[in-house]
Each structure stands twice: as C-alpha cells, then as structure tokens.
Amino acid sequence: MQLHTKGEPSDASLWQLGGGEAVALTGRLKLTNGICFSPDGATLYFADSLEGVIRAHDYDAATGAIGPRRDVVDCAAFGSGPDGATVDADGNLWVALVLAQAVACIAPDGTLLRSIAMPIPYPACPAFGGPDLDTLYVTSIADSGGRLISDHVDAGRIVAITGLGVTGIREGRYRDNHIRE
C-alpha cells in the first residue's frame, strides 16, 4: 500500500444544490467527504479528510441555512484522516478511517464508541443497507486516481458487517422541484 500526494490541495467548498442553483455554504476546506445528517436533520456532518477533522454545522432543513462550524473530532488520534461517513438511527457517526484500516463509531460529542478493524486496505465509505438497514457495507479503495494505491488482492471490494446491534436511517432522495422531468 502506498500514499501518493500530488501537491497542495485546492481550496474546496461545501455546496448546496436546490432551487435550480448551487450555493457555496462554506469554504476554506481541503477535501470534503462523508456528508451526512443527524436523524432529525438538524445537524450537517462532513469530513475534511486532508485536515483530518470531522466537522458539523447546525442545519435548518426548511431554509437550507447552516450555523457556525464546529469541530466534532480530530481523527489524528485514530491514526488516520476521516473518509466517508454515515449516521445510525441513534445519531452516532460511522466513519471510514482510511489509513488506519478501520471503521469508527463516534458519538455526536466526538467520543469514540468503538473501532472495527477492516480485512481490506483503505476502507472508504460506510453505508447501512439491507431490508432492516442493519448491515453496514464498507467500500474500499484500489486506486483513488494516484493518491492511494493498493496491490492487495481484495482492494476495491466491499465488506458487509452484520450483528452490530444498530440500524441506519433511510437516506433522502434529491428532488429539485425546479427541474422539469
């Protein structure tokens, strides 16, 4: 496994799409990943992967407005930056720790509740699925376009984890009423 860097990352932003337009919600980010919402929709979480931090904003679903940014957890303590993420029905974050070869379950206050070692390199994105949303599927990276490359025989595969005792939440589907079908 190798980590390749290609110079400094550009200034990234977190965007919102709706009403027929895209609006930058916040900027001065390096690489955004793992965008997800609390079960009640009132908190917007995202990972700034190259900064190694999971961040959050209060979110008003009716207006799309966000509150001030707050850092939830610095993933350097886990030996990795955060990658993809999802939220379970209890409001806990499930985050891929891509360089630590693990998935972490983190409480909304940033407390590590558990960490699960992955049998594949570079876990990238967890998502709950299955009929009861009680299976955690985790994708992995074989080649991220040159930044992360693995020659492991199972690189790029998906792992299904059962028996966690938690369920996910149904993801909303995007629908913009300003677009004609």
pLDDT tens for the 181 residues of the chain, in order = 333 334 455 577 788 887 778 888 887 777 778 899 999 999 999 988 888 899 999 999 888 899 999 999 999 999 999 999 999 999 999 999 999 999 999 999 999 999 999 999 999 999 999 999 999 999 998 888 878 888 888 888 999 999 999 999 998 777 666 555 5
The Cβ-side half-sphere exposure at 153, using a 13 Å CA radius, reads 0
Which candidate, 118, 148, 102, 121, places its Cα nearest to that of 3?
A: 148
Active site residue 151: no
Identify the pLDDT of residue 1.
33
Gap between the Cα atoms of 166 and 169, Å rounded: 10
Task: Determine which one of 83, 109, 143, 151 is catalytic.
Answer: 83
Identify the pLDDT of residue 5.
39
Query: How remote is the C-alpha of 35 from its chain's centroid?
Result: 5
Domains of the chain: 9-161 (2.120.10.30)
Q: Which amino acid is at 173?
A: R
Identify the pLDDT of residue 177.
60
Identify the pLDDT of residue 173.
76
Identify the pLDDT of residue 90.
97
For residue 23, give the H/E element and its range.
Answer: strand 21-29
Gap between the Cα atoms of 131 and 173, Å rounded: 18
Which candidate, 166, 159, 158, 160, places its Cα nearest to that of 93?
A: 166
Identify the pLDDT of residue 34.
87
Distance set, CA 88 to CA 22, 42, 105 (Å): 28, 14, 9
Which candidate, 144, 157, 132, places its Cα nearest to that of 99?
A: 144
